[in-house]
Amino acid sequence: MFAEHRSVRSWPAVVVALLAVALVPAAPAVGRADPVQEEMSATERVVAGLEESPVHVDPSYASAFPEELAQETGRRITDSGVPLRVLAVPLIEGGDWNGQADLMAAAVHDRIGGEGHYLVLDGERLSGHDFSTGSTTQVSRAFYASQAVSMGMGDDAPVAERVERAVDVALSDDPEGAYTAADEQRDPGALDWYHSLGPGTYVLFTVLPWILAGLALLGLGVALFRWRRPRRLPSLPQHAAFDNANQARRDELAAKAGRELVEVGERVSGAVPVADDPGAVEALHQALDAHAAARQVYDVLPAEGALVDIVGVLVLLDAAEDHVDRAIRPAGRRRSTPVRSHCYANPLHGTGTRMTRWREFGGRGDVTVPLCAPCAGAVRDRRRPVVLPAHHRGREVPYYEVPAAESVWAATGYGTLREDLVDRILRGDHEVGPR
């Protein structure tokens, strides 16, 4: 059938149809891409450009850094296999990346990852920024390249020539050697003798006047304080005061754990589950197990009481209460009484928590855990929250940094990471020993 249709068409008709198609204006693709481009952040636009070429040139640098040069430089970098990237982007104070080249390079590299070397051209200034994976020692190619060009050519040389030279140094086998050679060949400045004294002497001459001024002010303040102080009162050393306060806090929590252990035990033993409801019976068994685990930990508490273990008793008693509430409620209302989740950072902060993504400090790992409002705010602001301390091998560390094999609380996050906290304690995984 299709062959018959093609055979009956005349050549003039085909020509007219082709002309009509050619004359119809194509729908502009830019109109569809513009909203997407506008929605991208400045960092995302730079990263998207680097996915196509290791040289990203802002349109405002088109005259100083021609497209042909950018393409040729990109091919050289790609053929070399070195993770070098060139960014020619205007930086404005108060704008994107607050006008700082190091912030832009860090933001872009955070999206790309791995090893990376960045030559950033901002106006007349060329700077180098290097990032390593941490597993191997790497050469600071971008830093040495930018410094070698600055000393060898200065900031008055044309932009294209300086970038070309910087790329040559960064891709060479010995960028540090090129930097050393440029440093030796440059004309000595008026203050070079001052910087040539060495890091120690340089810092001494720079910082010593401020140190002396600070010591003078400190001495004046101490003398004024002693002169105005009516009399000297005996006081405990500061560390003793804090130790006393911490011990009082532990004693208070231990007493609370002992009272609640009795009260919750009476409630669990007197609870009657909903009749003919296997779910209610199972909830009561879970309450009995949680209370038994709390009793097991409490009975082996040391004389002074380990804070992490006392907190564990309180968490287990909260779980026992939750299971009792579920056991005495009808199946239809059982969903409204879930087992509460304590704050992962510090269970003493309570159970008013929300699941929060906590990113590792100085790393790329993250974990989603329940956190109270203050701890969640600290995590969002990249600050360490107020965590529950634990004594481990003579040091005080956050409880979750103790190896999982040595702490059932760290291994389970007090039940927020794993649901087998009670089972682990009942089978004897928890042992109280010297810390």
Q: What does the pLDDT read at residue 40? A: 77
Look at residue 2 and tell me if it is in a domain: no
How far is 89 from 84, CA to CA, in rounded Å? 16
Q: What is the pLDDT of residues 23-37, one digit of tens each?
A: 444 444 444 444 444
| CA atoms within 13 Å, Cβ hemisphere of 377 | 3
| For residue 187, pLDDT beyond 50 | yes
Instruction: With CA atoms as reference, report the closest residue to 122 among 105, 144, 140.
Output: 105
Confidence band of 210 (pLDDT split at 50, 70, 90):
confident
Residues 294 and 306 placed together within one structural domain of the fold: yes
Q: What does the pLDDT read at residue 426? A: 93
How far is 278 from 275, CA to CA, in rounded Å? 8
Q: What does the pLDDT read at residue 188? A: 55
Look at residue 388 and tell me if it is in a domain: yes
**Mean pLDDT score of the chain:** 79
Residues 34 and 141 placed together within one structural domain of the fold: yes
| pTM exceeds 0.85, yes or no | no
Determine the average pLDDT of the residues in 49-65.
87
Domain at 169, CATH number = 3.10.310.50
How far is 399 from 308, CA to CA, in rounded Å? 7
| For residue 202, pLDDT beyond 70 | no
Residues 245 and 321 placed together within one structural domain of the fold: yes
Residues 103 and 160 placed together within one structural domain of the fold: yes
Q: What is the pLDDT of residues 108-151, one digit of tens each?
A: 988 888 889 999 988 778 899 998 876 556 788 999 988 888 88
**Residue 46 near residue 79, CB atoms below 8 Å:** no
Angle at which helix 278-299 crosses helix 307-327, to 10 degrees, equals: 160
Q: What is the pLDDT of residues 237-277, one digit of tens each?
A: 333 444 445 667 888 888 999 999 999 999 988 888 888 78
Q: What does the pLDDT read at residue 136? A: 58
Q: Is the dihedral of CA 415, 420, 425, 431 positive or negative?
A: negative
Give the range of the structural domain holding residue 215, as residue numbers without chain letter.
189-228
Confidence band of 319 (pLDDT split at 50, 70, 90):
very high
| For residue 315, pLDDT beyond 90 | yes
Residues 195 and 266 placed together within one structural domain of the fold: no
How far is 409 from 236, CA to CA, in rounded Å? 34
Residues 215 and 164 placed together within one structural domain of the fold: no
SS percent in the chain: helix, strand, coil, step 5: 60, 10, 30
Provide the CA 171 distance to its chain's centre, in angstroms: 31
- What would the 3-class secondary structure string for 304-368 be? CCCHHHHHHHHHHHHHHHHHHHHHCCCHHHHHHCCCCCCCCCCHHHCCCEEEEEEECCCCCCEEE
| For residue 10, pLDDT beyond 70 | no
Domain endpoint, select from 339, 359, 379:
339
